[in-house]
């Protein structure tokens, strides 16, 4: 079973007040993006699927400190995380979605993203099976569902990160619409 997502964009620029001697830090943003070619998790009529849910304290990657002052153009880096049945990332690698930018510092941003995502934890993806209950009233239809089985499943997500220098300080913020797990 597979869930798609996307890790990618890295952008840096010199903030307007950088010349004033303020200490520079980087900003990191991320969002989850669907892989249009990925199969969605298939469930039977008596089943449902719950996607992985990231834990609140997953560390975002750090903007490579040595690159902050370079006023780099935007770069995209796409990273795929395979989330195991226990909720840990069992593999993290450049995504095959191939939407990454290239450039002389591409590998530094990619290393930062991969190192961070590799430490992330999730409530694992689950498939739950149900059976109908007895009809408790006189309509002859089940009144509720009874959970009969629940199993964790391995899935993948792709993440896009945006690294930028903003007003001379580092800010980590989630992009609009980002973080929704398919």
Confidence of residue 14 (pLDDT cuts 50, 70, 90): very low
CA distances to 24, 157, 164 from 63, rounded to whole Å, are 10, 22, 8
Give me the mean pLDDT over the 136-162 stretch: 88
DSSP 113: H
Q: State the pLDDT at residue 27.
A: 53
pLDDT at 179 over 90: no
30 or 12, which is more confident: 30
Distance CA 163, CA 24 (A): 13
pTM exceeds 0.75, yes or no: no
Distance CA 171, CA 162 (A): 11
Q: State the pLDDT at residue 13.
A: 28
Domain range list for the chain? 9-135+143-164
% of the chain surpassing 90 pLDDT: 29
CA distances to 35, 67, 128, 177 from 131, rounded to whole Å, are 32, 56, 10, 35
Give the tens place of pLDDT for each residue, 116-136.
999 999 999 999 999 998 888
Query: Which of the residue ranges 4-18, 66-80, 104-118 would you say has the lowest mean pLDDT?
Result: 4-18
């Amino acid at each position: 079973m597979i869930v798609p997502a996307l890790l990618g964009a890295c952008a840096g620029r010199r903030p307007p007040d950088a010349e004033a001697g303020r200490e520079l830090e980087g900003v990191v943003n991320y969002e989850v993006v669907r892989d249009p070619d990925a199969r969605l998790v298939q469930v039977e009529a008596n089943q449902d699927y719950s996607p992985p849910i990231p834990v609140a304290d997953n560390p975002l990657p750090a903007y490579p400190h040595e690159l902050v002052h370079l006023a780099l153009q935007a770069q995209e880096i796409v990273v795929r995380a395979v989330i195991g049945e226990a909720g840990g990332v069992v593999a993290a690698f450049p995504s095959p979605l191939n939407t990454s930018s290239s450039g002389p510092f591409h590998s530094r941003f990619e290393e930062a993203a991969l190192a961070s995502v590799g430490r992330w934890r999730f409530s694992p993806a689950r498939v739950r099976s149900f059976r109908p209950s007895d009809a408790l009233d006189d309509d002859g239809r089940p009144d509720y569902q009874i959970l009969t089985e629940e199993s964790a499943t391995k899935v993948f997500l792709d993440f896009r990160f945006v690294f930028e220098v903003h007003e001379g300080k580092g800010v980590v913020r989630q992009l609009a619409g980002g973080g929704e797990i398919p």
